[in-house]
Amino acid sequence: MTSDNSTPVILPLQPSAPWDQARSLAFSAGRPLPFETVPLPEALGQILADDVAALQPVPHYASSAMDGWAVAGPPPWQLVSYKEPETARWQIHRESGRRPLQPGQAVPILTGGLIPAGAQSVLRTESGMLSGAGKGAGDPVLVLRPGAAEPVPGDHIRPAGEEAAAGETTIERGTLLNPAHIALAAVCGHDTLPVLRPPRVSLLLTGDEVIESGLPESGQVRDTFGPQLPQLVTMMGGRIDVVRRLSDRYEDVKAALSSAATDESTIAMSSGDVLITTGGTGRSEADHLRQVLEDIDAEMLIDGIAMRPGHPTMLARLPDGRLLVALPGNPLAAMMAVFTILGPLLDALRGAPLPAPRHVLVGVDIEPLPGRTRLVPCRIKNGRAMPSPYYRSGMLRGLADADAVMVIPEAGCTMDETLTALPLPWTVQQPPSR
Ligand SMILES: Nc1nc2c(c(=O)[nH]1)N[C@H]1C(S)=C(S)[C@@H](COP(=O)(O)OP(=O)(O)OC[C@H]3O[C@@H](n4cnc5c(N)ncnc54)[C@H](O)[C@@H]3O)O[C@H]1N2
Ligand code: MOO
């Protein structure tokens, strides 16, 4: 190809991003947010910003794993009694460890009780019995019950530091914190954890024809986003700061996207990291989003995705740095845009990796659709993905019943071929491959 002043090079128009590029573009548009320190329960589902170490050995003292007696040496054992305090259980636990045991001695102990110095093992209640009690002969004698085995050193003792030494890292930075991590952090002595700040997300719902309750008349539609998106965003690791409804007027859309705060909700909105709009992505006279983005000098990162449904989806960086995800108004199209770009964007902002693609075997032949990747809700039956008949952009039954979303390349596919599949945010997560 040559180029000079008389023959300008005309680059082919590339209006929509290919589906997989749109995903990676959305992921690379987000940078992890600064960390914050939160109480343990609030850290659930967040990404750990720093390694967590045990602040003391775990467990921090050698304790009994059974109710019974701590014993020293072989049987029989002279019982060393102590007066159980009538107060807290932890005091009873401490009492068993107060005096060192000599060989041939035993002391009653509860599960969790402190093992006294000199004790080699714990004999559980079921394995021993007391003899000589009540005869005025001093402390009773502990013997093995008939058939019970003599305890071997270490029996039923949880040694100190068995799980972690003091200072040992028990949870690595970058971990997505599950309930077990929260419990482990507590056992390691932590009251708070440093986590990457979850992205704050504002929702702007447009559509003058949209009603929030009751039965819509012809020309009206019942809102599917208001009752669904806040919870979905939360499931995906975002924090909703404000949900606002907006008229379809140009001035209102422009005011809502500008960073100048005029009331409480716009203040909250302009302090967010991500702004989601629904509807108005088209090019009709009633759709102003594109024009507003141009007029406020937003940086267009994705202007349409070569997919169906969800083709008009946009991603833009607003002049104040917020990222705008513009979802199409059609309910299923919007969900496919959520899975395609909102998920990767939120993952990047909260410091999570872009999930590795999953795969399914497809159960039917599917015709090609030049220029479009199709996203179709599917059920997995007998190990094969079966596309839902409810796949059109205004339909929701297919997604409501789906196990996953299959990603059909423009060339189509034949039965038993392997396809990429997107897990749904509300289905149980598979363990990540390490
Ligand atoms: N001439 C063309 N027309 C359309 C094209 C096109 O390429 N050329 N693309 C179609 C596709 S694909 C989509 S998707 C939509 C995109 O529409 P918008 O994002 O502008 O959304 P609206 O026009 O506002 O609404 C579309 C549809 O969705 C309904 N809607 C809106 N909000 C809600 C809500 N909260 N809950 C339920 N349903 C909602 C709305 O009533 C419309 O029926 O454009 C096509 N047209
Ligand atoms: O692409 Mo639209 O988003 O099909 O309905």
Q: SS3 string of 299-368?
A: EEEEECECEECCCCCEEEECCCCCEEEEECCCHHHHHHHHHHHHHHHHHHHCCCCCCCCEEEEECCCECC
- CB of 224 shorter than 6 A to ligand 1: yes
Q: What pTM was computed for the model?
A: 0.82
Nearest alpha-carbon partner for 48 in 167, 190, 163: 190
Which pLDDT score, from 0 to 100, does residue 429 have?
55
Nearest alpha-carbon partner for 182 in 335, 23, 40, 355: 40
Distance (angstroms) between ligand 1 centre and the Cα of 330 equals: 5
Q: Report the SS3 class of residue 296.
A: coil
Report the alpha-carbon distance of residue 64 to residue 75 in Å, rounded. 19
For residue 177, the surrounding DSSP H or E stretch is: none
Per-residue pLDDT tens digits of the chain, which is 434 residues long:
333 444 545 544 447 899 999 999 999 999 989 999 999 999 998 999 999 999 999 999 999 999 999 999 999 999 987 776 677 888 888 888 889 999 999 999 999 999 999 999 999 999 999 987 544 556 689 999 999 999 999 999 999 999 999 999 999 999 999 999 999 999 999 999 999 999 999 999 999 999 999 999 999 999 999 999 999 999 999 999 999 999 999 999 999 998 787 788 787 788 899 999 999 999 888 899 999 999 999 999 999 999 999 999 999 999 999 999 999 999 999 999 999 999 999 999 999 999 888 999 999 999 999 999 999 999 999 999 999 999 999 999 999 999 999 999 999 999 999 999 999 999 855 444 44
Ligand minimally distant from the alpha carbon of residue 372: 2
Q: Report the SS3 class of residue 379.
A: strand
Ligand 2 binding site (Cβ under 6 Å of any ligand atom): 308-312, 328, 330, 333, 393
109-132 residue pLDDT tens:
999 999 999 999 999 999 999 987
Residue nearest to atom 34 of ligand 1 (CA): 223
Which pLDDT score, from 0 to 100, does residue 134 have?
47
Asked whether 240 and 226 are in contact (CB, 8 A), the reply is no
Asked whether 97 and 41 are in contact (CB, 8 A), the reply is no
Which pLDDT score, from 0 to 100, does residue 312 have?
96
CB count in 10 Å sphere of residue 352? 22
Q: Is the peptide bond before 309 cis (omega within 30 degrees of 0)?
A: yes
Asked whether 121 and 151 are in contact (CB, 8 A), the reply is yes
Distance (angstroms) between ligand 1 centre and the Cα of 282 equals: 7
Which pLDDT score, from 0 to 100, does residue 13 have?
45
Ligand 2 nearest atom to the CA of residue 333, by list position: 3
- CB of 280 shorter than 6 A to ligand 1: yes
- For residue 55, the 8-state DSSP code is S
Q: Is the ipTM of this complex over 0.90?
A: yes
* Strand 299-303 versus strand 314-317 pairing type: antiparallel
Ligand 1 pocket mutation pick from 205, 212, 330, 374 by most atoms within 8 angstroms of CB:
330
The amino acid that residue 143 corresponds to is V
The amino acid that residue 270 corresponds to is S
Ligand minimally distant from the alpha carbon of residue 204: 1
| Mean pLDDT taken over the chain | 91
- CB of 209 shorter than 6 A to ligand 1: yes
Residue nearest to atom 12 of ligand 1 (CA): 311
Residue nearest to atom 32 of ligand 1 (CA): 329
Report the alpha-carbon distance of residue 189 to residue 51 in Å, rounded. 14
Ligand 2 pocket mutation pick from 225, 311, 392 by most atoms within 8 angstroms of CB:
311
Handedness of CA 411, 412, 413, 419 (dihedral sign): positive
State the residue for tokens 């959520």: 338
13-54 residue pLDDT tens:
447 899 999 999 999 999 989 999 999 999 998 999 999 999
170: left (phi over 0), alpha (psi -120 to 50) or beta: alpha
Handedness of CA 337, 340, 345, 351 (dihedral sign): positive
CB count in 10 Å sphere of residue 150? 12
**Structural domains of the chain, ranges and CATH numbers in brackets:** 19-33+198-349 (3.40.980.10), 36-58+163-196 (3.90.105.10), 63-158 (2.170.190.11), 358-423 (2.40.340.10)
